[in-house]
Amino acid sequence: MDLGLQGRTVLVTGASGGMGREIATVFGAEGADVVVGYRSRPEDAAETAARVGKAGGRALTAGYGLGDPGTARSLVRAALDWTGRIDVLVNNAFRPFGFRPPGDRFEDVGDDWQGKLRDNVEGVVELTRLVAPAMRERGWGRIVHLSSSMVTEGVLETDAGPIGSEYYAAAKAALHGFSRSTAFSLGRDGDILTNVVVPGLTRTFRNEERMANSFGVAERYAARAPLGRLPDATEVARVVVFLASAANTAVTGQSVTVGAGA
C-alpha cells in the first residue's frame, strides 16, 4: 500500500530515542522529510536522523522542549525554512515520571507535578496551534497525539506504578478531548485529520532497564494481554504512520489503542 508520504514534511517531537525514534524511522522508510525534535541529546537526535536517512528519507534535527513556546516556534520555523511546508505533526514528546515503590501515594508527589501537568498539555496544544495555519493553507494535514493506556485503564496494580501516574493520565486525557474537538475545526478547512494513538506499556530500546526494575509491572501487563506480550515501539510506530498518511482518508477524531490487545 502506498501511504502517500513521499516528500511530505513530518515533525516528530521527542524523536531522539524510544518511541519517537521508531516513529521517525518508519516515516523515513516511506520517503518522508522528517524533522527530528529533541530536547537535550543532540547526539541521540543525530542517530535518529541517520536511521531516517538509512531507511530512505531525509532528516533535519531541531531542538524542542515541552513548555517552551520559543522552541515550539523555532521548530516550526526550521521545518518551513527547510521544505516550505508542514504536512504531519506527531506529538510524541512528554515530561516523564519515574517508577515509585509500592505504598507511595499520589498526594505525596512533589517536585513540580503542576509544571509537568501543564507542560504535557500546554506544550502539545501550543505546537498544534502553530502548525495548523500551514495545514489549513495547503488544505491537507495529519496530526497524531501519543497518549497512554493509563487514561482508560489506570495503573494495573494499585500498589505500584509510575510516580505521578495520576497526573500523567490527567494530562494525556486532555489530549483526547482536544483532538476530538479540533477534528471538527480543522476538518472544515480541508483534508486535515487528527487522532490519538494510545499505546499500552511498550518495549523500547530505552526502557528495558526501567521495566526490569518496575516491581513486576511489565510482566503483569504482558500476562494480561491477549497476545501474552507487550508491543514493541515499531508496532506502535506503524499505526502512527498509517494514521498520519494519505492512505488514511476517514479516521479522524478517534483514539486508537495499540497494546497487544490489552
The CATH number covering residue 198 comes to: 3.40.50.720
Is there a domain that residue 166 lies in?
yes
Is there a domain that residue 4 lies in?
no
Is there a domain that residue 209 lies in?
yes
Structural domains of the chain, count: 1
Q: What is the pLDDT confidence band of residue 212, given thresholds at 50, 70 and 90?
A: very low
Percent of the chain exceeding pLDDT 90 equals 62
Is there a domain that residue 3 lies in?
no
Q: Could you give the residue numbers annotated as active site?
A: 168
Q: In degrees rounded to 5, what are phi and psi of residue 86?
A: -135, 115
Is there a domain that residue 104 lies in?
yes
Is there a domain that residue 2 lies in?
no
Domain that holds residue 88: 9-258
Average pLDDT over residues 100-128: 81
pTM summary value? 0.89
Q: Quick one: pLDDT at residue 233?
A: 82
Is there a domain that residue 108 lies in?
yes
Residue 84 has pLDDT above 70, yes or no: yes
Is there a domain that residue 1 lies in?
no
Residue type present at position 247: A
Q: What is the DSSP string of the chain?
A: ---S-TT-EEEETTTTSHHHHHHHHHHHHTT-EEEEEESS-HHHHHHHHHHHHHHT-EEEEEE--TT-HHHHHHHHHHHHHHHS---EEEE-------EE-TT--GGG--SSHHHHHHHHHHHHHHHHHHHHHHHHHHTEEEEEEE--THHHH--SSTT-EETTHHHHHHHHHHHHHHHHHHHHHHHTTSEEEEEEEEE-S-B-TTTHHHHHTSTTHHHHHHHHSTTSS--BHHHHHHHHHHHTSTT--S--S-EEEESTT-
Q: What is the pLDDT confidence band of residue 127, given thresholds at 50, 70 and 90?
A: very high
Q: Quick one: pLDDT at residue 217?
A: 60
